[in-house]
Amino acid sequence: MRLSLIIPTLNEKEGIGYTLQAIKEAREKEVSELFPGVDLEWEILVIDGGSTDGTQEIATEHGAKVVVEKRRGYGRAYKTGFALATGDFIATMDGDGTYPANELPWMLKRLLHTGLDFISGDRLSLMEKKAMTREHRIGNWALNSAIRVLFHEVLKGVPERVLVDSQSGMWVFKRSLLPALRLNEDGMPFSEELKLEVILHGFKFEEMPIHYAERWGQPKLSSWKDGIGNLLWLLKKRFHVSQEARASSKLGVSASAPHSP
């Protein structure tokens, strides 16, 4: 069994070493406890956007494979990483020390034991207040509420506790899902695009509460600019989903979401 862990970075010299060290410790402790006797191979890909602060060197020193993707964007980095990944499963996290590496093996174990296709870490249910700025918290609340309203119809058939945290960047999922998903977004809305695509295709999606810590280094996200950009993206996506549903009903194809993969 092989796991590809993908970490996008852009000038994360403060956090990348800490993140990779935490992953090493999780492999030594949690993985050997949770998967005794299982030969779990790891591939760690750091997709770097051309950092100039030594991030690439630190990542290499910690044993990660660094891939330079100069085209800007969080979503762009992930699409490049997904195309290179060779694992049966893909896991993700930021390179800023915010996500709990020791909880990643638990997510993988849950995925394997429940037959789920995709698990996304829910940062908000267990979060300490200081882990996120007030602007980020308000932005998250606004975007999660917007998704609830805009995608009410789409989310009707899926369990209640879904997309509590639409902006989370820690996921574990089966790589075999990827060819079915339409992933067009290069920027920050990639996070909700991926989750909505998984749900729209009827794949088994779940959120799992995780611990979330304060970031090392400077945020690359601007609460206002990216928040408004994400909101506009959601409106656009909702419009496309309705258009597609209308087109399919004209052709006599059932477009009720979620549908079977």
Ligand X SMILES: Nc1nc2c(ncn2[C@@H]2O[C@H](COP(=O)(O)OP(=O)(O)OP(=O)(O)O)[C@@H](O)[C@H]2O)c(=O)[nH]1
Q: Which residues bind ligand X (CB under 6 A)?
A: 8-10, 12, 47-49, 69, 72-74, 77, 94-96, 98, 136, 169, 215, 219-221
- Shortest separation between residue 8's beta carbon and ligand X, angstroms: 4
Binding piece for Mg ion, criterion CB under 5 A, among 86-94, 139-147, 205-213, 250-258: 86-94
Q: Pick the closest to residue 255 from 154, 120, 127 (CA basis).
A: 154
Of 48 and 122, CB closest to ligand X: 48
The token duo for 49 is 């956007």
Q: Give me the long-range contacts of 106-113 (CB less than 8 A, separation at least 24).
A: 106/30, 106/34, 106/208, 107/170, 107/172, 107/208, 107/210, 108/3, 108/34, 108/172, 109/34, 109/35, 110/206, 110/208, 111/172, 111/173, 111/174
Query: In 3-state terms, what secondary structure has residue 6?
Result: strand
- The item of Mg ion, ligand X, none sharing an interface with residue 64, based on CB under 5 to 8 Å by kind, is none
Of 47 and 150, CB closest to Mg ion: 47
- The item of Mg ion, ligand X, none sharing an interface with residue 195, based on CB under 5 to 8 Å by kind, is none
Q: Give the type of residue at 69.
A: E
Binding piece for Mg ion, criterion CB under 5 A, among 83-91, 94-102, 193-201, 242-250: 94-102
- The item of Mg ion, ligand X, none sharing an interface with residue 8, based on CB under 5 to 8 Å by kind, is ligand X
Of 151 and 216, CB closest to Mg ion: 216
What letter would DSSP give residue 214? P
Query: In 3-state terms, what secondary structure has residue 67?
Result: strand
Quick one: which of 30, 48, 69, 96 contacts Mg ion (CB under 5 A)? 96
Q: Does 94 bind Mg ion (CB under 5 A)?
A: yes
CB hemisphere CA count around 232 (13 angstroms): 9
- The item of ligand X, Mg ion, none sharing an interface with residue 197, based on CB under 5 to 8 Å by kind, is none
Interior angle at CA 215, CA 212 and CA 219, nearest 5: 125
Closest chain position to ligand X (CB): 49
- Shortest separation between residue 90's beta carbon and ligand X, angstroms: 16
Q: Pick the closest to residue 77 from 88, 89, 63, 67 (CA basis).
A: 67
Note the residues at the interface with Mg ion (CB under 5 A): 94, 96, 98
